[in-house]
Amino acid sequence: MDISYHDVLLVGGGGAGLRAAIAVAETNPNLSAAVVSKVYPMRSHTVSAEGGAAGVIRPGDTLDDHAYDTISGGDWLCDQDAVEIFVKEAPEELLRLEHWGCPWSRDSDGRVAVRAFGGMKNMRTWFAADKTGFHLLHTLFQTTFKYKSVTRYDEWFVTRLLVDEGRVQGVVALQLMSGRIQAITAKSVILCTGGCGRVFPFTTNASIKTGDGMALAFQAGVPLKDMEFVQYHPTGLPFTGILITEAARSEGGYLINKDGYRYLQDYNLGTPTPQPVLRNMELGPRDRLSQAFVKEVEKGRTTDTPYGPVVHLDLRRLGEKVINTRLPFVRELCLKYENIDPIKELIPVRPVIHYMMGGVHTDNDGATPLAGLYAAGEVACVSINGANRLGSNSLPELLVFGARAGKAAALAAMEQKPPSERVVSQALDEKLRLEQQFLRKTGGRERIATIRSEMHKAMENGAGIYRNQTSLQKAADKLRELRERFREVSLDDHSLTFNTELLAALEQSFMLDVGSAIVESALHRVESRGAHQRTDFPARDDRNFLAHTLIFNNSDGSTRVKPAPVVITRWPPAERVYGVQSEVKQTAAR
């Protein structure tokens, strides 16, 4: 078996992975850094981010305001020390990106333009039209080319972490083009594999977002944190799940029900105003807006379509010029995928799975409890997002914590010995497993597609916007059954060249682990907080549940859950208040 040797290995070539790779090279250009990615880096999901990246830049805005918005938006489950680091370093990172060539949109006076985003008290979201992720990722990607010490493994799929003597020493990876399986060893490994939206049927997430890194860490004994908190974005296009960015509402878009009524006024989100007001109505947080949609369905005030009930986003009042300059991509998506022109027509929208607040348990430098293993970006849970992430916090999060993890992993690698001989035999075992379980096996009774669609149904029905004991238990039982049945999967395609069926099988097995972690964590939290709303326990319960959920994988495949304390520094838990009156009440709450 081939083995390659590096100092720091980055699993993932999205925003977090590339930012971390640059940090490794900046910390010590003599360290060899390798970026392994199952897709060409520019095709990572970061490329599809639209709306922008939050960072305090304007006079009048403060780091404390950004911290407070993030913490109250996260329903007090964020670690406040992490949030304080985040808000301080976010503008520094965004400025660094500017120096590396990111074309931030600007006002006519030349200053970096900012826009409003949901749940934010001040305008602080930097953007590059509505293609922020594309420009951000491109900037990072081209910056990595400056460093000779960064090697890439494009279209290589990581199937397992190599762990010996209590520390991570590399990975086993499959080259998609050739089917070659080999060990890639390293002294530190950073998981930057992104989220897991594909565990659910209706999502904004690219098809590659299957939670691989979460499952890899989980299988290696690392706990996952706060997995019950899955974010629905309130405005996805029906059928495709394509995102219509929050920026459309920050520019002044209204959400209306089938009677043309701005229904958010009925859900403690403020009163209608002609112009958008921060933290009010359409600029409330995503969890509340998605929950309001479900209530509208229950009241029979939504419009039925072949793809489920929808409400409408009304951008017509913005006019052609604003739409074409500030939201060109929104218009393009509507025209291409719905045959609708938002200049003249209403856009049908419904909530759609968008983002994973939970993930691999890390500290503020991205370190996990397993020596040598780090995580950053959406795969990780530091946690700054708590029970509900605010829009536009994720891109700066991957920059801030990608950079911190890169630096910490580089420093740790400088202290480490080369990998042990034993990892080679582990890698050979993994190769054998892949061959026996998939490449040589015939006659299995189960199909991947059947298992995937049953998993989707179980997750949507059991762990959607609203859940309860019965729905979650049913989902947990189903997932257990599917994990058993997965052993009976066999492939039709046994070839080695771009075997996408093999890929689908590996991703499916990761998704079953991640789905179970979501459902088991949700069963454990018998309260409602942020994106986790239980109809059988509708109130927040700070006495018993102001704590993170850590879920561990036992060696027999069962799981165990343990709470971990939330770090509170300066903002004691308070009521979450939105709407035009919120300013007054928030000051009182501090």
Ligand X SMILES: Cc1cc2nc3c(=O)[nH]c(=O)nc-3n(C[C@H](O)[C@H](O)[C@H](O)COP(=O)(O)OP(=O)(O)OC[C@H]3O[C@@H](n4cnc5c(N)ncnc54)[C@H](O)[C@@H]3O)c2cc1C
> Should residue 309 be labelled a site residue for ligand X when binding is judged by CB under 6 A?
no
As a whole number of angstroms, the distance between CA 77 and CA 97 comes to 29
Which position among 138, 160, 233, 331 bears the catalytic label?
A: 233
DSSP class of residue 243 equals B
Q: Is 467 a catalytic residue?
A: no
As a whole number of angstroms, the distance between CA 387 and CA 238 comes to 25
Identity of the residue, 37 or 72, whose beta carbon is nearer to ligand X in the bound complex = 37
DSSP class of residue 251 equals T
Out of 75, 89, 296, 378, point to the residue binding ligand X (CB under 6 A). Answer: 378
**Dihedrals φ, ψ of 391, to 5°?**
-55, 145
As a whole number of angstroms, the distance between CA 522 and CA 462 comes to 10
Shortest Cβ 271–ligand X spacing (Å): 27
Residue in 258, 283, 362 with CA at minimum distance from that of residue 124: 283
> Should residue 349 be labelled a site residue for ligand X when binding is judged by CB under 6 A?
no
Which position among 43, 66, 124, 249 bears the catalytic label?
A: 249
Shortest Cβ 398–ligand X spacing (Å): 5
380-381 β-sheet, strand order: 380-381, 359-361, 224-225, 547-553, 559-565
* Strand 533-534 with 466-467, pairing: parallel
Identity of the residue, 121 or 131, whose beta carbon is nearer to ligand X in the bound complex = 131
Out of 8, 24, 51, 458, point to the residue binding ligand X (CB under 6 A). Answer: 51
Residue in 249, 27, 226 with CA at minimum distance from that of residue 117: 249
> Should residue 431 be labelled a site residue for ligand X when binding is judged by CB under 6 A?
no
Helices first, then strands: H and E counts in the chain: 16, 24
**Dihedrals φ, ψ of 128, to 5°?**
-120, 90
Shortest Cβ 162–ligand X spacing (Å): 14
Identity of the residue, 141 or 293, whose beta carbon is nearer to ligand X in the bound complex = 141
> Should residue 70 be labelled a site residue for ligand X when binding is judged by CB under 6 A?
no
Do the beta carbons of residue 287 and residue 466 sit within 8 Å?
A: no
What is the x/- site pattern for ligand X, positions 227-256, by CB under 6 A?
----------------x-------------
As a whole number of angstroms, the distance between CA 408 and CA 65 comes to 28
As a whole number of angstroms, the distance between CA 244 and CA 206 comes to 15
Out of 25, 33, 45, 351, point to the residue binding ligand X (CB under 6 A). Answer: 45
Shortest Cβ 111–ligand X spacing (Å): 20
Site residues (CB under 6 A) for ligand X, limited to 156-215: 157-158, 192-195, 204-205, 208-209, 212-213
> Should residue 87 be labelled a site residue for ligand X when binding is judged by CB under 6 A?
no
Hey, is 458 helix, strand or coil? Answer: helix
Identity of the residue, 134 or 545, whose beta carbon is nearer to ligand X in the bound complex = 134
Q: Is 233 a catalytic residue?
A: yes
Q: By the criterion CB under 6 A, which residues form the site for ligand X? A: 11-17, 36-39, 41, 44-46, 48-53, 132-133, 157-158, 192-195, 204-205, 208-209, 212-213, 243, 355, 377-379, 392-395, 398
Q: Write out the catalytic residue numbers.
A: 233, 249
